[in-house]
Amino acid sequence: MTQPLLRVEHLTMRFGGLIAVNDVSFDAHEGQITAVIGPNGAGKTTVFNCIAGFYKPTVGRLTLTRNATPYLLERMPGNDIAGKARVARTFQNIRLFPKMTVLENLIVAQHNKLMRASGFTLLGLFGWPGYGKAEAEAVDLARYWLDRTNLTDVADEVAGSLPYGGQRRLEIARAMCTEPVLLCLDEPAAGLNPRESADLNTLLRFIRDEHKTGVLLIEHDMSVVMQISDHVIVLDYGRKIADGTPDVVRNDPKVIAAYLGEPEDSAAVQGVV
Amino acid sequence: MTAAERLKDAIMAAGVAALLALPLIGFETVDTGGPLGIKTRFDYIAYAAIAVFLGRLGMRIALDWRRNYRESLADKLDPVDAVKHKSVLSDLGRKADKWLMPALIGFAIIMPFLPFANRTVIDLGTVVLIYVMLGWGLNIVVGLAGLLDLGYVAFYAVGAYTFALLSMHFGFGFWETLPLAGLLAATFGVVLGFPVLRLRGDYLAIVTLGFGEIIRVILLNWQPVTGGPAGISGIPRPSFFGFPFAADPPEGTTSFHQLFGLEFASLHRIIFLYYLILALALITNIFTMRIRKLPVGRAWEALREDEIACTALGINPTNTKLTAFAIGAMFGGFAGSFFAARQGFISPESFSFIESAVILAIVVLGGMGSQAGIVLAAAFLTLLPEVAREFSLFRMLAFGAAMVLIMVWRPQGLLAHREPTMRLHPAGTKPGGGTP
Amino acid sequence: MEYFLQQLINGLTLGAVYALIAIGYTMVYGIIGMINFAHGEIYMIGAFIAVITFSILGIVGITWVPLALLIVLIVSMIITGLYGWTVERIAYRPLRGSFRLAPLISAIGMSIFLQNYVQIAQGAKIKPLQPMIRGGIELMKGETFSVTISYLQMIIMAMTLALMIGFSYLISATPLGRAQRACEQDRMMASLLGVNADRTISLTFVLGAVLAAVAGVMVSLYYGVVDFYIGFLAGLKAFTAAVLGGIGSLPGAMLGGLLIGLIEAFWSAYFSIEYKDVAVFTILVVVLIFRPTGLLGRPEVEKV
């Protein structure tokens, strides 16, 4: 059996006395959309931050397998997780470079590739032609994602001037410009209207089907999750309480209890968890 | 605000000003040999209070007027256009970089041959250009990478002393020493920056502030090497690529005036030095313009905007910031070796915190990022005390106040604007067939 | 041994002064997350007001030391506190929510402004102050060297100790302290719950300035001279003290201040007096490399 794209094993994260994530294990696969859901404070964003390297997990192993090479994410600094293991992410509160243009945002995302092409600046400084070619290719890639996210017309506008939905799309386009194998999205549908939400679903399916990129997303909006996910993981109080296809999860009594509050007779079910 | 409220507010402000002024302005300590004597100057307190009263009242009226103006503007424009409504000053900055820069460079090139150019004017021009170069160098650090360096003068000092020591003790010429001085200054930048740049931006500010002071302390106290407070004198002057500027060149060498068949004139060296610093400054400028369009330059600007987002894109923040810091230090080192070569004498006095503050003021007032703005600010800040001697006492007072006011009023800098480093659609055309 | 003890006493005195200044840095950092570069100048202003008030009292004939000291302390604390308040209003408050470098540049501008303001108003010369509190207790008599603690040193240490205790009480047990700690944790939430965040921040600056004023009064008595430049180095060292103790932590600032005072005194005594500032600065860099959170600080967890 092939290795999953991302394997999370026994992930635990403590802040002082608080256990935000408690012994969570799951897999995410290439060409699949994996959703992590759960009520507020369930530890979803913490799981994300551990995967993206913003926190160092207290216990646990995070293995990403790219080209049959395993990368142990918990041992890598954040920028290597993005640069070497190729995990890209977006943020719950959008983090663009607001004073730079939309296009520049996408070019910055291709930094490491362009750095090498510019001979770590030295060759680029003297106008080495190889750099010009690399830059043109970078612009082509940027344009590809601009077209997919409907931002081509505003490519030369400052990112901060885009409307909210545009900024969300730009953040995804920017993450995709790093050519990731795993794309982590932190509540991508938050604040979007139904139409934008539907467009987002189309975009995510496109990324999954055409690029075979694994997508890991945190989402509150159950309609988004149930429509596009291949695989759903439910967290509650830092523990995993369910793991399976949307249909299985939807009918899981523990999940219903976690979301709707527990009916009196389900205390027994909770006890099992 | 109603008129009565404004008046009340201004009276309050004047009252606070009077209280603040009471001990420090109202009483003047006089040395009498024994205990300090005291003279009173209560009239000054009244002046201070009145000035604050009028200033505050004026400010309130101006603010209310501006708000009304903006509200009326917002009614006229639809919200999308209002966002794009560019400020007059940043437009001015854009125009300055586009039109004023070539004009300034052209003027700087022909300046020594204009009729009014005498020794004093050319010397003054050289001083302005030193500050322009320092401003452009620091701008890489502060304006592009968003790192606050409060000890920039330390790198200037490293360059100057490297030049002085290498040329005095090892007989190195100007052109051999220049790269070494830059390299050494950059090395200092790396050694200092490496531990600190991992941390929050504020720490860099205070560490560079301390570093500037420490370099000064070492220069003052390391007598055998730096000559202590007396400094180093008799530093060899740069030659014209091996041809010295001398009336009677030593046996076997040709001097500059013989080479070109000119009458000897001491002005030749002054003009040569002027062009030398002009060339160095222009190199700094061209370098900055080019590196902005390279990945590392874009990464600097991106780091200034959002470091966490940069990390998530695979950019190593520490190394990237370090390159900006070291390159800025390198240009400071270049400027320092030019300074030592020109003066022929250096002492720790030239490298006090005030110098760092002046350079920072040039960058801030000029508008972080605007190359032309920095030229204007450098010219203004160095020429003003020359023109108005009595102003020199109040120079730093005014700089400090100006830095606060600009941060409050226009924190991005007076003429700040930002030109995109690349475009998808050529400038002036609007996608979708619209007109510009 | 005697020499060592004497340096210990001198170092503790110096450290007490640094600790008083360091509290101002650490409190402001805790509440609005910025380094108040102008704080060293606030301390310098406190020292100047002390010298001027002492001189005026001498001229009008109030020379009974306890009374003079009390008046000077009160005057200096009030006016210096007002300076702290004004600095915050002018240079920092309008910049909340501005870009990252803006408050730092504004603060350094303020620092330059205040330094030159005092220089112009009072002249660049060193201002001497006649010694007022003489004498001391001989603690130990050695063959060549005897250890003394002067009355002034005792006053400085006692005063610092009293202020620290009072201050810790203020922060831990009064409504003001609660408001302050609430703003430190989450300013937005605190203001939603009815804490006047602006006023709390203002008060933080005033409190920091008041403590700096006490330090200024003590230093003007201890060294007998002040000039417009003393705020720069003292500010740098007190900041180092705050970082060493863990910036944002009050006990940390006190501990850091004492340690910096001791290090400076022993370095001057056993190594070289010229390089004492270099030693302090080296400590700052070493702490930042190996333990950026300081001795008593907590690590900052950045939310993303």
Query: What is the average per-residue pLDDT within C194-213?
Result: 90
In the predicted model, is pLDDT for residue B31 greater than 50? Answer: yes
Number of domains composing chain B: 2
Mutate to test the interface with A, among B311, B368, B421, B423 (most CBs of A within 10 A): B311
Structural domain including A8 reads 1-86+180-273
Least confident of B108-112, B288-292, C203-207: B108-112
Is residue B418 in a domain? no
Is residue B424 in a domain? no
Q: Which has the higher per-residue pLDDT, A93 or B283?
A: B283
Residue that finishes a domain, picked among B33, B65, B82: B82
pLDDT band for A53, please (50, 70, 90 cuts).
confident
Is residue B421 in a domain? no
pLDDT in tens, A121-152: 777 677 777 788 888 888 889 999 998 888 88
Residues A188 and A61 in one domain: yes
Residues A187 and A174 in one domain: no
Residues B97 and B63 in one domain: no
The CATH number given to whatever domain includes residue B153 is: 1.10.3470
Cα dihedral across residues A79, A81, A87, A93: positive or negative: negative
Across chain B, mean pLDDT equals 83
pLDDT in tens, B264-298: 777 888 888 899 999 999 999 999 988 888 889 99
Residues B212 and B69 in one domain: no
Query: What is the average per-residue pLDDT within B158-183?
Result: 88
Residues B368 and B346 in one domain: yes
**SS3 letters across chain B:** CCHHHHHHHHHHHHHHHHHHHHHHHHEEEECCCCCCEEEECHHHHHHHHHHHHHHHHHHHHHHHHHHHHHHHHHHHCCHHHHHHCCCHHHHHHHHHHHHHHHHHHHHHHHHHHCCCCCHHHHHHHHHHHHHHHHHHHHHHHHHHCCCCCCCHHHHHHHHHHHHHHHHHHCCCCHHHHHHHHHHHHHHHHHHHHHHHCCCCHHHHHHHHHHHHHHHHHHHHHCHHHHCHHHCEECCCCCCECCECCCCCCCCCCCCHHHHCCCCCCCHHHHHHHHHHHHHHHHHHHHHHHHHHCCHHHHHHHHHHHCHHHHHHCCCCHHHHHHHHHHHHHHHHHHHHHHHHHHHCEECHHHHCHHHHHHHHHHHHHHCCCCHHHHHHHHHHHHHHHHHCHHHHHHHHHHHHHHHHHHHHHCCCCCCCCCCCCCCCCCCCCCHHHCCC
| 8-state DSSP, A3 | P
A99: contact with C, CB 8 A cutoff? no
pLDDT in tens, A151-194: 888 888 888 888 888 899 899 999 999 888 888 888 888 888 88
B/e letters for C236-255, b = 16+ CB within 10 Å, e = fewer, are bbbbbbbbbbbbbbbebbbb
In the predicted model, is pLDDT for residue A266 greater than 60? Answer: no
pLDDT of B279: 92
B55: contact with C, CB 8 A cutoff? no
CA distance, residue C53 to nearest chain A CA (Å):
51
- A261's torsion region: left (phi>0), alpha (psi -120 to 50) or beta? left
pLDDT of A267: 42
Residue that finishes a domain, picked among A178, A205, A238: A178
Residues B69 and B142 in one domain: no
Is residue B429 in a domain? no
Report percent pLDDT > 90 for chain A. 6
**How far is the C-alpha of A64 from the C-alpha of A57, rounded, in Å?**
15
The answer to whether A156 contacts B420, with C-beta atoms less than 8 Å apart, is yes
Is residue B417 in a domain? no
| 8-state DSSP, C89 | I
pLDDT band for B134, please (50, 70, 90 cuts).
very high
Residues B99 and B71 in one domain: no
Query: What is the average per-residue pLDDT within C126-144?
Result: 79
Is residue B396 in a domain? yes
pLDDT of B3: 82
In the predicted model, is pLDDT for residue A261 greater than 70? Answer: no
Query: What is the average per-residue pLDDT within C90-94?
Result: 90
Q: Using CB atoms and an 8 Å cut-off, which of residues 65-94 of chain C contact chain B?
A: 75, 79, 82-83, 86, 90-91, 94
**How far is the C-alpha of B107 from the C-alpha of C103, rounded, in Å?**
37
Residues B261 and B119 in one domain: yes
Residues B95 and B203 in one domain: yes
**Cβ neighbours of residue A11 closer than 8 Å, sequence gap 6 or more:** A21, A23, A24, A25, A47, A50, A57, A59, A60, A61, A62
**How far is the C-alpha of B206 from the C-alpha of B149, rounded, in Å?**
8
Q: Using CB atoms and an 8 Å cut-off, which of residues 311-340 of chain B contact chain A?
A: 311-317, 323
Residues A8 and A67 in one domain: yes
pLDDT of C187: 79
pLDDT of C86: 94
Residue that finishes a domain, picked among A158, A178, A198: A178
Query: What is the average per-residue pLDDT within C41-66?
Result: 91
Residue that finishes a domain, picked among A153, A178, A203: A178
Query: What is the average per-residue pLDDT within C191-196?
Result: 80
CA distance, residue C186 to nearest chain A CA (Å):
17
pLDDT of B87: 63
B363: closest chain C residue by CA: C105
Residues B285 and B339 in one domain: yes
Q: Using CB atoms and an 8 Å cut-off, which of residues 2-21 of chain B contact chain C?
A: 16, 19-20
Residue that finishes a domain, picked among B82, B99, B122: B82
The answer to whether C304 contacts A91, with C-beta atoms less than 8 Å apart, is yes
Residue that finishes a domain, picked among B26, B55, B82: B82
**How far is the C-alpha of B375 from the C-alpha of B377, rounded, in Å?**
6
Residues B397 and B316 in one domain: yes
Residue position matching structure tokens 């994996």 = A34
Query: What is the average per-residue pLDDT within B379-390?
Result: 79
pLDDT of C302: 55
| 8-state DSSP, A182 | E
Tokens, residue B409: 């009023």
Cα distances (angstroms) measured from residue B117 to each of A48, A197, B107, B273: 66, 68, 12, 14
Structural domain including B15 reads 3-82
Across chain A, mean pLDDT equals 82
Across chain C, mean pLDDT equals 87
Residues B46 and B77 in one domain: yes
pLDDT of B187: 94
Chain C residues with CB-CB distance to A91 below 8 A: 304
pLDDT of B399: 84
pLDDT of C102: 86
Residues A44 and A125 in one domain: no
Residues B254 and B284 in one domain: yes
Q: Among candidates B279, B321, B253, which has minimal Cα distance to B105?
A: B279
Query: What is the average per-residue pLDDT within B46-73?
Result: 86
